[in-house]
Chain A
Amino acid sequence: MKRFLITQTFGWLLVAALVGVTINGCQSPEKTTWRVTGTAIVTVNGLMSAYADACVAGLIASNKQAQVRDAYGKYAAAMAVEKAVILSYKVNQDTNALYQAVAAASAASADLIGLVQLFLPPDRLVKVKGGTP
């Protein structure tokens, strides 16, 4: 009985601690990176898919396509660097390098998103974002 009570009490204390962590939003650098990177990848994939459909439909001029290709190349390169830094972080725990890589990748994805939003016809953009034109 005593052992049961100790186990229960310990269990509740752990739940309380973890609930506290969840409420406070205390996040490790890895978790922050995971959220930022995952959001960027999903957003860019959705937008680029709509953009590629618009290209195939002949709605994007070739000079604009060249600009997007260039921006996408920079985004992909920044993501490749971020991936390498994350894998290194697992060993060296260099938070500064991690945040620098995340910031660079975020900036590259923001540039790309801004450019695609500028070139994508409004009706196609609405389909990605949702809502009414």
Chain B
Amino acid sequence: MSEAAALIILQLALKYGPEIGLAIATIFAKQTFSIEEWTALFAQLKTYDQLMADAVKRATPPA
């Protein structure tokens, strides 16, 4: 996967120039994440009761 990503970056850099390649490579090489990004990731966690309530909603036919 990482080799494929590197190849894509290289191809884009060869086609569109180093600036575009650099911009894309920077995204792939992202090593740190902001507190907001971490918070958003953990916000995907639900409580057990939330999961059950969602399932009840899915099972309830729309009025």
Contact = CB atoms under 8 A, between A and B. Distances in A.
Interface of A: 8, 11-12, 14-15, 18-25, 27-28, 30-31, 34, 37-38, 41-42, 45, 48-49, 51-53, 55-57, 69, 72-73, 76, 79, 83, 86-87, 90
Contact of B28 (A14, A18, A83): A18
A19 B9 contact: yes
Interface of B: 2-3, 5-6, 9-10, 13, 17-19, 21-22, 25-26, 28-33, 35, 38, 41-42, 44-48, 51-52, 54-56, 58-59
Contacts of B29: 18, 21-22
Nearest to B54: A52
A111 B33 CA distance: 28
8 contacts: A11-B22, A22-B28, A22-B29, A52-B52, A56-B59, A76-B45, A86-B38, A87-B38
Contacts, number: 100
Contact of B46 (A27, A45, A55, A57): A45
The B interface is mostly helix, strand or loop, or mixed, namely: helix
